[in-house]
Amino acid sequence: MKLTKIFYLIKEGVKSIFTHGFMSFACVLVILACLLIMGNFALLSLNIDHNIKQLESQNEILAFVDENLSLEDAKAIGPRLRTLDNVLDVQFVTREEAMESFISKYDDEEMFSDLTPGTFRNRYLVFLEDLSRMETTRDDIEQVEGIAEVSASLEVSRGFILVRNVVTIVSVALILILFVISIFIMQNTIKLATFSRREEIAIMKMVGAGNAFIRWPFIIQGLVLGMLGGVIAFLLQMGIYEVLTRRIAASSLAMMVEVLPFNTLMYPLLGVFLGLGLLVGTFGSSIAIRNYLKV
């Protein structure tokens, strides 16, 4: 294609955004609304997932050290535990510390006045990277020399994993449904926009315009509108997220939940919004005009 023609087609595409101003506005609005609904939902489920993970990480394995080992020897086990697969961190707790934390859990300290540290054992708190592999890791810890007994609350971790799986499945399903609905709505908006231009397309064809000549301005228009929708959606999403984050921080919820900072989500979100906007804009418009090219 000649340069003159390429410039003309790009110019035509950009110009038609303005000559069909209302339809352009409607398209951007629809893309915007669909992206925002999906975006808010996706961010919500990411935060739920994050908070469940936070809770999970507090679910540690207790590894009791053999009573016959000296304090020195007991402490020496730590590095060996740390090298185990799936172990995030270990924390050594002496029998004295264990007793104190045990007693402090109860109001009535008198009741335990005759307790001695000897009743307790030196122990390690072992934190895991992946809770779903708790059982194998527990077995690994049991193999470590000097570890007498391991206590892991498999039921609790299974519960967490179940909750997280359910949340993941539900949110992926909902996002997919929203995605399909969005595509459908956008497709129809674009169809409407092209319908108003079928006359123009028919005239161009009568003068001898090939399909590319008609399609390219459309695709460029879709591309610009899609990108515009994506960028505006991103900016609005940022605003909404900031407002909600501040609200939560100021409320009593702040104690219980941790909101992911927007910075960590920013680039993936922008990428997804831009990508979806572009995809819908270009593919949507080229599919929509297919029917009118057959004259």
Partner 1 sequence: MVHLSDVSMTYKAGTHAADHLSMDIQDGEFVFLVGQSGSGKTTIIKLLTGEVRADEGEIEVNGFDLRTIRRRNLPALRRTLGVIFQDFRLISNKTVYENVAFAMHVIGASRHEIRERVPYVLKLVGLEGREKRLPQELSGGEQQRVAIARALVNSPSLIIADEPTGNLDPARSLELMLLLHKINELGTTVLVVTHEKELVNAFSKRVITLEEGRVASDGTGGYYGHEAD
Segment (H or E) for 127? strand 123-128
- Residue 86 vs 211, nearer CB to partner 1: 211
Task: Give me the least distance between CB of 280 and partner 1, in Å please.
Answer: 25
Alpha helix positions (H), the chain? 3-19, 21-57, 71-82, 95-104, 134-143, 154-195, 198-206, 211-250, 262-289
- Residue 172 vs 295, nearer CB to partner 1: 295
Residues forming the site for partner 1 (CB under 8 A): 1-2, 4-5, 8, 19-20, 199-200, 202-211, 213, 294-295
Contact 284, 187 (CB under 8 A): yes
How far apart are alpha carbons 203 and 255 in whole angstroms?
66
Q: Using CA of residue 279, residue 283, residue 284, residue 286, what is the dihedral sign?
A: positive
- The DSSP output letter for 66 is P
- Residue 199 vs 242, nearer CB to partner 1: 199
- Residue 118 vs 208, nearer CB to partner 1: 208
Q: Using CA of residue 284, residue 285, residue 286, residue 289, what is the dihedral sign?
A: positive
How far apart are alpha carbons 41 and 182 in whole angstroms?
14
Task: Give me the least distance between CB of 292 and partner 1, in Å please.
Answer: 13
Task: Give me the least distance between CB of 8 and partner 1, in Å please.
Answer: 5
Task: Give me the least distance between CB of 209 and partner 1, in Å please.
Answer: 5
- Residue 21 vs 159, nearer CB to partner 1: 21
Task: Give me the least distance between CB of 186 and partner 1, in Å please.
Answer: 24
